[in-house]
Amino acid sequence: MPGAEKRSVLVVMRHSPYGSSLAKAAVDVALAAGAFDQPVDLLFTGDGVLQLFPDQDSHSLGKKNMGRQLASLPMYDIDRVYVDAEAASRYNLDTATSPVEAKLLDPREMRQLMVGYDHLLGL
Amino acid sequence: MIYSLLILSPSVSGHGSRLGAEFARSAIARGHSIRRVFFLDAATTASSCNSIFAQDELNPAQAWEALHEEHAVELVICISSALKYGMLDDTEADRHGRPCASVNPAFTVSGLGQLVDACANSDRLMTFGG
pLDDT tens digits along A65-107 = 999 999 999 988 898 999 999 999 999 999 999 999 999 999 9
Q: Is B2 on the interface with A (CB under 8 A)?
A: no
List pLDDT tens digits, range A44-58: 999 999 999 998 999
The distance of A113 to chain B (nearest Cα, Å) reads 18
In a domain, A37, yes or no: yes
Domain presence at residue A2: no
**Gap between the Cα atoms of B7 and B37, Å rounded:** 7
DSSP B10: -
B41 has a chain A CB within 8 A of its CB: yes
Structural domain containing residue B25: 2-128
∠ Cα A22 A123 A81 (to 5°): 105
What distance in Å separates the CA atoms of residue B17 and residue B129, rounded to the nearest whole number? 8
State the residue range of the domain holding A61. 9-122
Predicted confidence (pLDDT) per residue in A12-50, tens digit = 999 999 988 999 999 999 999 998 989 999 999 999 999
Q: How far is B55 from chain A (nearest CA, A)?
A: 31
Per-residue tens of pLDDT for chain B, all 130 residues: 999 999 999 988 888 999 999 999 999 999 999 999 999 999 999 999 999 888 888 888 899 999 999 999 999 999 999 999 999 999 999 999 999 999 999 999 999 999 999 999 999 999 998 7
Whether residue B119 lies in the annotated active site: no
CATH number where A47 lies: 3.40.1260.10
Q: What ipTM was predicted for this assembly?
A: 0.89
Closest chain A residue to the Cα of B80, Cα to Cα: A25
Q: Is position A4 within any domain?
A: no
Helix H or strand E encompassing B75:
strand B75-78
CATH number for B66: 3.40.1260.10
**What b/e string do you get for A45-75 counting C-beta neighbours within 10 Å, with b at 16 or more?**
bbbbbbbbbeebeeeeeeeebbbebbeebee
In chain A, the number of structural domains is: 1
